Structure 1
Amino acid sequence: MTDVKIIETARLRLLPLTVDDARRIVDAAPAPGDRWAEGYPGDGDVRSARGFLNGVAERGDPGAYRPYEIRLLADGGTIGGIGFHGPPDTAGVVTVGYGLVPGARGQGYATEALRALIARAREAGATAVRGDADLDNVASQRVMEAAGMAYEGEDEKVRNYRLVFAA
């Protein structure tokens, strides 16, 4: 794994997924010592892990542009996932996604994790990050706005957000 780092914030540790981690998430089979919160892995975590496994099989290791488990620093419990949907496109833009177990929502963890992931994208050479949220998912829209992403427009299903890094 090249250019892969654990990301720490004031309250969280974002742990980069390995192929073995992703397989355990897809199989919903925690390893001894894993402290998965109730509701983890969710459907989004499983989709992300599958996408990561497919991407590794097709393109090789994505370096920094992978999914990460969101763990609490206080007790090491996994409360969700965050990460990149794949490597940057030809313009250097990378798409992000995230999700928390219900018991961890409303405490600022998603915003804290997204800010750290955005910083990692910039450090790894991306030119911008984008994301979207369902029209009725106001909480996720607020997370992206609080992390510095700007509303770009919407279609019949989602609101789109983007943050372009200054050169």
Structure 2
Amino acid sequence: MFFLETERLKLIPLTHDLLQLCNQNRPEMEARLGLTTNVMKISQEYVTEIQYAMAHFWLPQTAAHPDNYFWYTNWEIVLTSCNMAIGGIGFAGAPDDKGFAEIGFMLDEHFHGQGYAAEALRAMINWAFGHEAVRHVVARTYEDNAPCRRLLLGAGFMPVAADGRLLTYRKCRPVM
């Protein structure tokens, strides 16, 4: 099974079959991965976004792109010290023809403020920039989400647009 590893984390991209199992019975999916079960504390807003992504993006897109599913799925953020999923991260599809890939992430509230989201974000950006087609990584957050805005700025993203309450940030591939 393919995964990314950092100092404290393992990032596991869920296959279509694992997403289906997660949608039906998350604890069973965690067991299949050999993980300790975690009932994550996340806001209702994120619960709704995850349910929507599962039904309207992850499941249909991983079925449509089985050989390239990494760009269309949730990657479980696993804290290796306790072998437990503490969040999710992933892209909103393969890079477009201009080299843009959009990323999103969510972390269990019990694990906020410990640098895990930044660590996962760095790993995913490095993975994305390892693909020649990726020139820019984009992330969006709400203007009232100051911790996320600080995290994006700390990871080298720059604000590039605002649409109502939604702010867009971009990080460009480093020039070699």
TM range (shorter): 0.7 to 0.9
1:71 positional shift: 0.2
Runs of 4+ in 1 over 4 A off after TM superposition: none
Which residue does the alignment assign to 1:10?
7
Which residue does the alignment assign to 1:23?
20
Contact 2:11 2:75 in 1 (8 A): yes
Paired residues, number: 164
Question: By percentage of residues, which structure has more helix?
Answer: 2
1:67 positional shift: 2.3
* Change beyond 3 A, Cα 1:102–1:164: same
1:45 positional shift: 3.8
Which residue does the alignment assign to 1:57?
63
1:157 positional shift: 2.0
Distance 1:5 1:59 in 2: 16
Which residue does the alignment assign to 1:67?
74
Deviates more, 1:26-35 or 1:113-122: 26-35
Contact 1:152 1:161 in 2 (8 A): yes
1:40 positional shift: 6.6
* Change beyond 3 A, Cα 1:132–1:99: same
* Change beyond 3 A, Cα 1:63–1:54: closer
Q: Deviations over 1:90-113 (max 9, x none)?
A: 112100000011101111111110
Which amino acid is 2:16 matched to?
Answer: V
Equivalent position SS for 1:145: helix
For structure 2, list consecutive stretches of 5 or more residues without a partner in the other structure.
none
Q: Deviations over 1:49-85 (max 9, x none)?
A: 4312111233444244242100001111000000111
Of the candidates 122, 131, 138, which is equivalent to residue 130 of structure 1? 138
Distance 1:100 1:158 in 2: 19
1:28 positional shift: 3.9
Distance 1:90 1:23 in 2: 30
1:37 positional shift: 2.2
Equivalent position SS for 1:38: coil
Distance 2:64 2:15 in 1: 16
Distance 2:19 2:41 in 1: 13
1:87 aligns with 2:94: yes
Which amino acid is 1:138 matched to?
Answer: A
For structure 1, list consecutive stretches of 5 or more residues without a partner in the other structure.
none
Q: TM-score when scaled to structure 2?
A: 0.83
